[in-house]
Amino acid sequence: MSSGQESVFPEYEADTSQTSKLLRKFKETPFVPIGMAGFAMVVGYGLYRLKHRGDMKMSLHLIHMRVAAQGFVVGAITCGVLYSMFRDYVVKPKE
């Protein structure tokens, strides 16, 4: 950027390391990493159960695991939106 041009988002450009940006994002939206972790847990459980699924068809097992993973992520997104609305409208920050 040139010296005569001001930054549009100075608070986002102040942090230069990726870890500080990641930590800041996790603080702003705490349910995103919860949704990602839940998705990873459902996938891990699905891979574990894939070996011991018995006589269940592979496609049926994969459909169940996909629905479970998507349900967890949608639930985490819903909780995040509700938390954000609660924080913005019920617990009003001091201005």
Concatenating the DSSP letter of every residue in 19-49 gives HHHHHHHHHH-THHHHHHHHHHHHHHHHHHH
Q: In total, how many domains does the chain have? A: 1
Q: Domain range for residue 33?
A: 20-52+62-91
Integer Cα distance of 75 and 16 in angstroms:
32
In a domain, residue 14? The reply is no
pLDDT, tens digit, 9 for 90 and up, residues 52-67: 878 888 889 889 888 9
List the structure tokens of 74.
Answer: 């949608």
pLDDT digits (tens, 9 = 90+) for 68-86: 888 888 888 898 888 888 8
Q: Is 86 inside any structural domain?
A: yes
Q: What is the pLDDT of residue 67?
A: 92
Distance CA 69, CA 59 (A): 15
Rounded-to-integer distance, Cα 66 and Cα 46, Å:
9
Q: Looking at the domain assignment, is residue 87 inside a domain?
A: yes
Of 11-15, 46-50, 61-65, 84-88, where does mean pLDDT reach its minimum? 11-15
